[in-house]
Each structure stands twice: as structure tokens, then as C-alpha cells.
Chain A
Amino acid sequence: MRSMAAFDYSALSVDAIRSGIAAKEFTAREVALAAIERIGAADAKVNAFLQTTPDMALAAADALDSAVSSGTFDEMGPLAGVPVAFKDNMNLLGTRTTCGSRMLENYDSAYTATCVQRIVDAGGLPMGKLNMDEFAFGSSTETSAFGTTKNPWDLERVPGGSSGGSAAAVASGMVHVTLGSDTGGSIRQPASFCGVIGIKPTYGLVSRYGVVAFGSSLDQVGPFARNVRDAALALNALVGHDPLDCTSQPCETDFTANLDEGVAGMRIGVVPEFMTAPGLEPEVGEAVLAAIQKLAAQGAEIVEVELPNAAAAMSAYYVIGPCEAFSNLSRFDSVRYGYRDPGHADLGSQYEASRAFGFGQEAQRRILLGSYLLSAGVYDTYYYPAQQVRTLITDDYRMAFGECDCILAPTSPRTAFKFGEITDPNTMHLSDIFTISINIAGNGGMSVPLGLSADSGLPASAQLICPWFKDENMLRVAAAIEREYGPAPIAPAFADGKVGA
């Protein structure tokens, strides 16, 4: 048996892990043990995990190794033996599901979310649950009640959010595939900050059953990975109708099928308003322009498309999101589950004290905003018009996709910022300026790494946006970008088996 310390599983691709186990070069148990050891050391620096599940990982690994012994490994799924982990708003029986909140600090998952089950059924080794902004309200993972997650590229910087743990765990090479959720950019922006791939699929492609809801008309679950094929394999496992989420749609697409086709003849849209947006840092804009030129050189047709109402997406989102959150978070009533403040003689004061202690500041802000926006009189000023603006934004995308197969844009206006650097809520909300309109319209979007930024040396990225249920288009473009820039590297301090400086 090889030395565990020498077995660097982290640099292997998903396919290489599966074929290595099949060829008996190593066992699934060896992968699981190496991952447990690596997470134990590296996560002391990163703090991506809120809990680890070594027993689950070993049990899953042993089942795979038994399949190798009995000659049935071919029947195992495409993620067989791959270390995976889940954002902590996803239920997994046998774990807590905290949503990064004191409200759910002691909440035991009552069942397993469909998305989690599908990754486990595909052969993933569940390594644990990942840190997040409280109830997914945030863009830096700083609102978690359980400490901040560090960006593996620079431990003094945020990993982005709200799925910051999911991005950091992949960027530091602790696990290969993680799941996040994205309501306004919460997969794509942390993927951008951590230099990994993060996919928000088209609304309806992935079941949300068992994922704690934030904004139900906006929320979508998707994977993080370090190369496009790994991400496509994870997406294959995730998609499809689930009787337990009535928004989920049937899907027969193999997202790996067109990765080698190249972009020659594809029409790739560029949005001039995005490229000249105030707040877009020059090094980010330059990186995106360079990627556009490389795709043109590969034979893509670059076309300008207009999204005239995209500028209103931010304000529409901060109407729709808080209203839906206000409704969804009313379930935390201190009676059926969640934090109960002790010693109250009447139910009313128990509600108020429990929710005041259980919810952090940003969660309270959004709930109160929703409370205001849904109140009589105000509803007609903001809520109804926001839904009309949503129609305009959706129509914009529909028109734009009449002229192109995929849009290329910035993911975030800037690279990763430092802890505490942004404290004003409105400024923090601007982190999602390029991602939010996609949730409003329901299209798919993903962040792909573009190497390192010229000035800051931090990961640069681009966002790809696809027509409804044409997520294979953006994966095809992502594969073409990957041929130029290479797959996402593990952050240097964690590369080659290292576990942080």
C-alpha cells in the first residue's frame, strides 16, 4: 500500500480517479483516506467545511471497492470515487444543515436533498458540508454565523459568496466537485473569486427539493469543479425531473457530448453596456476582452447584443429576492425546528426573541425589507412593477439569443476583495451586478477561469450565459476557453499536495 502522504489525489481529474480505481492502481478507500487527511490539514487554513463526514466517505468508498472486487465496478456512476461536498443549505441525512445560521445550528437533516442524492448515487464520496453566507444572503461568506472562509489564493481575501465554502474547497484541491446554490450570483461570483468553474444551470434544470429556499423563483443548484469535463459530468448527474420539485424539467442532454466541437461558427454575444459598466475594474474588463479575441481567433463569430433593461435588474432583484425570502424564512418559528429562545411565557415573545437571536444582521435586513415591500400601498410601488421589469429583462435575453448562441460577459466587476473591505450593504450588493439579471430571466450562466489578472495576480474570469435549456452551449464555449487557459489550477499554496503556507 502506497504512503498516504504521497498520494496526491487532488490533481487527478474525475475520469482519472474512476479509471484508476477500475484499473486497481489505487482503491476508493485510499482516495477517501487521503481526502480525509488532506481536508484535516488544509481546512485548518481555509475553513471551508462546517462539518466533515469521514464515516460516510469511507462507507461509500468501501462499497466501490467491493464492486471492483466483485467485477461490477462498470455499473458504478461517473463520479465513482470522487471526493465531493455540499453547501450547508442542502440536506443530507446524518448531517446538520445549518445554512450558516444560529437559527439552524443544531438542525439535523430530516431527509436527503435530491441534488445531494444524485451526486452520491453517481459515486461521489461525501466529505462534508460547506460554509456559506447565512441563508445565502451575501457575497463574501462573511455573514456566516460560524466564521469566515478564506480564499485559497490569498488567505486575507474573501472567497466570494454566498457559496464561498463550495468554491474554496475546490480551489484548494480538497475535493473535486462541490454543489452550491445561486439566487443572484452565489455560485458564479465565488467561482470567479476562487478561480474555478461554477455553473448556475437554467432555472428548472436541477431539483431544489431538500435545499433550504431563499428566493424560490430565482434559486438554482449547480456544481463547482476545476475543469469543464468534471463540471459537465457533475451536471449530467444533477439534471432531470424530480417529482418532489414541480419546477424541475426532464432533461436527456449529455453535457460532455459537444465539449470537443470547438466554437467555429458559433455566435458569441458581447454586451457593450456590460463592458463599459461603472465599477468594472480595468484588469477584469481586459481579461474578458482578451478571451473574446481568443474565441474569435478560434473561429467564433462575435456579435454585439443589447440588454437595454439589464440595468434595472439589480433593483428588481432587491425587490423580488427579499419578498420571497420574507415568505420563505417565515417557516423558522421556533416551534417545529430551529432556535428557540428559552423561558418565554407566551408564544409571541418567543417568536420575536428566537428570530432576533437566530437571524444575523443581513438576514434581518432582508426580511424587514421584504416585510416593507409587501405591505399595503408599497406593493403597488415596487413589487408589481418589479415583476413587470422582469418581463422586460426576460424579453431582452430572448431577443439577444435570437442573434447569438451564448453571451460572454464579466462575472464580477472585480477580483476578490479583502475581509472587511466592503461593509456598506449597497456596495456589497453591487458584487452581483453582472450575474443578477440571469436569475431574473431564468437563463443558465457559468463562471470560467481566465488565468490570473494582470495587476492583482488574483484569478480572472468570464461569465457565459446561455438560452433557456441550452446549457450545453455555454459548456462548449467553456471548453474552448479551457483550451486557451488550461483547467483551473489549485491555488499555489495548496498545489502539489501542499496544505497551505
Chain B
Amino acid sequence: MTQHVTERDVRRMAEYARIGLADDDLPQMTEDLNNIIESLKPITEYDLEGVEPTFHPIGDLSNVMRDDVETPSFTQKEALANAPAAQDGSFLIPSILGGGDA
């Protein structure tokens, strides 16, 4: 079977997706993804010259727009209710510059 992605590729995809994939899981994940990507082959074999894409089903329906009227929304308290950590009405996160010394 064609090797579509290497373990190194999968590591990079995981970094892009912000998933800290364990080294032990890398070989199996790489094998699974190669199998799935192989199964996508029919997509690459179609003659699609001149075929318009459909990004959304039932494309001939138009978007439904509403008037731009202010309505009640989440309070700050409600917005923070599920936050793992909050402080002074804000979401609390660790340093974004890395190393913990920022």
C-alpha cells in the first residue's frame, strides 16, 4: 500500500491540531491514517473537469437573515460558568510565551 503519511507527518499534523500524541500511539495512528487515506482514492480518480463544487447541501436555498436587533445574551457569569479557571471576570490561562518565565 502507498505510504501517504509518515510518523513524522503524523507528528506534525498532531502539533497543528494541538493534540499531544504519545510516542507509543504514533505507529498505530500512522497505520490507521494511511489505511483511511488509501480508502479516499475514488475521490482522486474522478474526471471533475468543469464540475462546480458544493460546499453546502441544498445550495439553491438562500441564507436566512434576521434584522440587526440587540437581544439578551450570555451574562459574564454565564459565559464563565464552565471555565476550568477564571479570575476577575476573565478566563485564566497559563503563560502564552512558554517556559513559565514570561
Contacts and interface: CB of A to CB of B under 8 A. Distances in A.
A62 interface: no
Contacts of B29: 364-365, 368
A159 to B, nearest CB: 24
A387 B64 contact: no
Contact of A385 (B9, B14, B37, B46): B46
A389 B74 CA distance: 40
User: How many A residues are at the interface, by size bracket?
Assistant: 35 or more
A367 B43 CA distance: 20
A344 B99 CA distance: 10
A94 to B, nearest CB: 13
Contacts of A335: 83-84, 91, 93
Contacts of A371: 13-14, 16-17
Contacts of B33: 365, 368-369, 372
A386 B46 CA distance: 10
A98 to B, nearest CB: 12
A386 B48 CA distance: 10
Interface in A359-393: 359, 364-365, 367-372, 375, 381-382, 384-392
Nearest to B30: A368
Contacts of B19: 352, 355-356, 359, 364, 367-368
A26 interface: no
Contacts of B37: 369, 372
A243 B68 CA distance: 12
A350 B93 contact: yes
Contact of A348 (B65, B85, B91, B98): B98
B35 A426 contact: yes
A204 B95 contact: no
B98 A315 contact: no
> Main SS of the interface on chain B?
loop
Given A249-B61, A346-B100, A352 B44 contact: no
Interface string B3-28: 00100011001111111111000000
A382 B40 CA distance: 8
A428 B91 CA distance: 40
Interface string B45-64: 01010011111111001011
Contacts of A389: 43, 46, 48
A387 B22 contact: no
A411 B46 CA distance: 26
A336 B92 CA distance: 9
Interface string A66-86: 000000000000000000000
A319 to B, nearest CB: 6
B57 A442 contact: yes
A364 B21 CA distance: 9
A316 B56 CA distance: 13
User: How many B residues are at the interface, by size bracket?
Assistant: 35 or more
Contacts of B82: 107-108, 110, 336-338
Nearest to A316: B43
Contact of B36 (A318, A345, A350, A439): A318
B46 A346 contact: no
Contact of B20 (A243, A246, A353, A375): A353
B89 interface: no
B64 to A, nearest CB: 5
Contacts of B46: 312, 385, 388-389, 392
A440 B21 contact: no
A388 B35 contact: no
B54 A381 contact: no
9 contacts: A204-B61, A217-B57, A312-B42, A346-B96, A346-B97, A355-B18, A356-B20, A372-B13, A387-B54
Interface of B: 5, 9-10, 13-22, 29, 32-33, 35-37, 39-44, 46, 48, 51-58, 61, 63-66, 74, 78-79, 81-85, 91, 93-100
Given A316-B43, A356-B19, A429-B36, 4 more contacts: A243-B64, A318-B40, A349-B20, A425-B32
Interface of A: 107-108, 110, 202-204, 217-218, 241, 243, 246-249, 311-312, 314-316, 318-319, 326, 330, 333-340, 344-353, 355-356, 359, 364-365, 367-372, 375, 381-382, 384-392, 394, 424-426, 429, 439-442, 468
A-B residue pairs, 10 tightest by C-beta: A442-B57, A345-B100, A352-B20, A387-B53, A340-B84, A337-B82, A356-B20, A371-B13, A351-B18, A390-B54
